[in-house]
Structures are given as C-alpha cells and as structure tokens.
Amino acid sequence: MESTLSIDAGQSGCRLRLGDREADAAGLPLGVPPGEALLRTLTPLVDSMAGDMRIGTVAAGVTGVHGRPSCADEILRAWSPRYGTRRVVVADDCVTGYLGALGEQAGAVVAAGTGGVVLASDVAAASARVDGLGHLLGDAGSGFWIGRRGLEEAFRCADGRGGSRALLDLAGRHYGDLGELPTRLSADPARGATIAGFAVDVAEAARAGDAIAAAIWTEAGRLLAESTLAALRRTGIEKAPVSWTGALFSAGGLMLDPFTAALPGLDVRPPRGAPLDGASALAVMGAVACFGPLVDTATRKEDK
C-alpha cells in the first residue's frame, strides 16, 4: 500500500498526516538547515507511523525553506530507500498555511505564532510576502512581540517606571527569578520561543482586566492588520478575502477584534482548514508559483 505523507513543520512544533493517521512532533531545531532538521526530528516518528506502508509522495510546508531545492533533495535521498519515496514537494510553511486557510483563491492569510508573516496572492501571477523577518528585525504583532512587550511592562513596574503589576507577578510565576532572566535569555538559543511563551500570560492579564496587557494585544492585532493591508496592496487585490492561521489567533477576541477592526470593509473569514491540509494540497496541485516558492523533485522544476 502506498500513501502520501503530509507535513507541517515549524520551530514551535510539527504535525504529520499519513493516510488516516496523524501525529505531533517537537519543533525543528534552531540553527540547522531545514532538510537536515526535518529528517532529524521526524524520521523516528515516520518510522513508527509507516510500518510496512510505502510513502510515494512527501508534501511538506517547512519553516525557512524559501524555495531552496536542497531541502527536498535531502528528504528524497534519505527516504527513497527507506520508504520507497519517489516525489517530494516542499514549500515554505506560510504557503501551506495560506492553502489550508483559503485554498486556491485570491486573498491574504496572516500566520501568527512565535513569529508573524502575511502572504497574499492573486492565484494568477502575483504574490507578496510581508514581514516574517524574525524577532531581531520584524515579526510585528507576533507571539514574540507580545511576550517581549509584556516583559517590558513587567520590568518597568519592577523599576518603578509605571508598567503593570499584574504582568510583573505573572512574569515571576512564568520565569522564576526575574533578576536572572536577562542573563538566561542571552544564553538561550531558543530565546524567541521562550519570550513568545509569555504571550499566554499577557492574554491572562488582559482577560483579568489589566489595561496595559489589553493594549498590547490591541496593538498586536493592528500591526498584523497593517502587514495584511500592505500584502494586499502589493498584490493588487485590496478587496480580497482575508484569513488567518497560527496559535496566536486561539486568543479569540483579544486578537480577532482589533485585527478585524483594522481591516474595515474587508471579508475577514475563519480558516477553512489547517496548515496540514495545505500541505496535503501541495501533493495534488502541481506548480503553485503564484503562492510562493515551491520545489517539486518529480519534475526538478523550481518555481520562483
């Protein structure tokens, strides 16, 4: 029996689908090339899922790929003898997030988790990617952005510069000794995810009535909407539908209300599926250059 393996792989976590089986795995390690990171993280889990099943096609959305063929080539070389894989289709995870949320229709999808990126496409020829620059240069409105702003307000309170007592208390609960936190973060290779984890606490404070925490979420929604509008303008489809993907939107109204309010007149709709559904779509769509870079080893065609 032969099947397709669909993969949604990011730094916060990975999800796999093989036939009617689904599984979760740890996120891809930082500082490792995407193909090597994916193989290192997922091969043991795929072994347990596959059994005697042949995996003819692998379709994956992987963070940090950006159209580089080496990722697909590495997967094909490793899994062809192991599972009988003949074809590997790889795109950046913002592409599979888009396909899961809107499918093959024009629009824009904001992906917001630890990082933040918007992809817009007219599904004919033009697409635009906005932000997704990482926490040092961008990711405005992301989980990292919210967590960092929450920590800033916590330390402002600790210093007597205003800030939020609620966020200071939550930061102590979350991280322990705050006096050691700056040093610990400097030495933490996963500091982006570590800081982004505080976004959950900022949401807790906002729901409990802390005005500063609520304002952080409002500004995050506005910043993500700003990136969305920029992506739509660059693609020439200012009135197309907008959707979303990513853990940050699980905050519900804290994110959705300011995000939607900053997009007046636009059709902001819930995602119709998950990024893993978008990865499955890669296996049957053929070339999807209008959505972003894609590498398909079956044709060795690199669509830029």
Beta-strand runs (E) in the chain: 2-9, 14-18, 21-25, 54-62, 87-92, 107-112, 116-121, 127-131, 242-245, 294-296, 301-303
Handedness of CA 260, 266, 272, 276 (dihedral sign): negative
Verify that 266 and 117 share a domain, yes or no. yes
Shared-domain flag, residues 162 and 292: no
Q: Is there a single domain that holds both residue 58 and residue 207?
A: no
Residues 210 and 298 in one domain: no
Q: Say which CATH number the domain at 151 has.
A: 3.30.420.40
| 70 and 41, same domain (yes or no) | yes
| Cβ-Cβ contacts under 8 Å for 170 (sequence gap 6 or more) | 150, 154, 198, 201, 202, 204, 205
| Residue pLDDT, tens place only, 29-54 | 877 888 888 898 899 999 999 988 89
Separation between Cα atoms, residue 49 and residue 35, nearest integer Å: 20
One domain, residues 292 and 181? no
Residues 238, 120 within the same domain: yes
Highest mean predicted confidence (pLDDT) among 47-56, 261-270, 280-289: 261-270
Looking at the structure, tell me whether residues 158 and 253 fall in a common domain.
Answer: yes
Q: Which residue type does 156 have? A: R
pLDDT tens readout for residues 121-180: 998 878 899 998 888 899 999 999 999 999 999 999 999 999 999 999 999 999 999 999
Could you give the dihedral angle defined by the CA atoms of residues 213, 263, 272 and 244, in that order, rounded to the nearest 10 degrees? Answer: -40
Q: Are residues 9 and 68 in the same domain?
A: yes
* Whether residues 266 and 119 fall in one domain: yes
> pLDDT by residue (tens digit) across 180-204?
999 999 999 889 889 999 999 999 9
Q: Which domain holds residue 137?
A: 104-271
User: In terms of domains, do 131 and 66 share one?
Assistant: no
Number of domains in the chain: 2
Domain co-membership, 125 together with 197: yes
